[in-house]
A = this chain, B = another copy of it.
């Protein structure tokens, strides 16, 4: 059974599941910051996935990236697998704006997080589920309310 690393679990809210990856929202209202985690245990690097799964990960990543870029009028998308702190393979997709607090630096390890309020979280998750649905190649299954 797939196990999400406890740190990833504590820091995020679940948007839903794509065919390969769990889609998570970082609980940080400073940024629209999503994370894809392939639901396969003991993975650390993208190149450890099968070629078919690598392609599916990129398909899911590009769908998310494109939808977020349009919806949130990104100046740039930041897409990355780092994993120096939490090694479980997780793929960051972050909306960047030229007036954000860290621009043009990468955002990791800089500003302290600002947790969403209950209402903000619900609103953001609903918005993301709507924006990320309706793609036959990467259908999104959302948790039941």
Contacts and interface: CB of A to CB of B under 8 A. Distances in A.
Main secondary structure of the interface of A (DSSP, over half): mixed
A104 interface: yes
A101 interface: no
Interface string A82-98: 11110100000000100
Given A87-B76, A105-B109, A109-B106, A58 B46 contact: yes
Contacts of A103: 84
A61 interface: yes
Interface of A: 44-47, 51, 54-55, 57-59, 61-63, 65-66, 69, 76-85, 87, 96, 103-106, 108-109
Nearest to A69: B45
Contact of A84 (B46, B57, B104): B104
Contact of A79 (B81, B85, B104): B81
B76 A47 contact: no
B46 A51 contact: no
Contact of A65 (B46, B78, B87): B46
A57 to B, nearest CB: 8
A78 B87 CA distance: 11
A82 B106 contact: yes
A11 to B, nearest CB: 15
Contact of A55 (B58, B82, B84, B87): B58
